[in-house]
Amino acid sequence: VQLVESGGGLVQAGGSLRLSCAASSSIFSINTMGWYRQAPGKQRELVARITSGGRTYHADSVKGRFTISRDNAKNTVYLQMNSLKPEDTAVYYCNADYGNDDWGQGTQVTVSS
Could you report the per-residue pLDDT of 90-105, keeping only the tens digit for each? Answer: 999 999 999 889 999 9
pLDDT at 16: 98
What is the percent of the chain with per-residue pLDDT over 90, rounded to a whole number? 91
Distance between CA atoms of 15 and 24, rounded to whole angstroms? 30
Residue 73 in 3-state DSSP?
A: helix
pLDDT at 29 over 90: no
Distance between CA atoms of 44 and 10, rounded to whole angstroms? 20
8 DSSP assignment: -
For residues 33 and 49, the answer to whether their CB atoms sit within 8 Å is: yes
Q: Is 39 left (phi over 0), alpha (psi -120 to 50) or beta?
A: beta
pLDDT at 40: 93
Distance between CA atoms of 79 and 67, rounded to whole angstroms? 6
Distance between CA atoms of 105 and 86, rounded to whole angstroms? 22
Distance between CA atoms of 88 and 2, rounded to whole angstroms? 25
SS3 content of the chain, % helix, strand, coil (to 5): 5, 55, 40
pLDDT at 79 over 90: yes
Q: Span 47-71, mean pLDDT?
A: 97
More confidently predicted of 98 and 18: 18
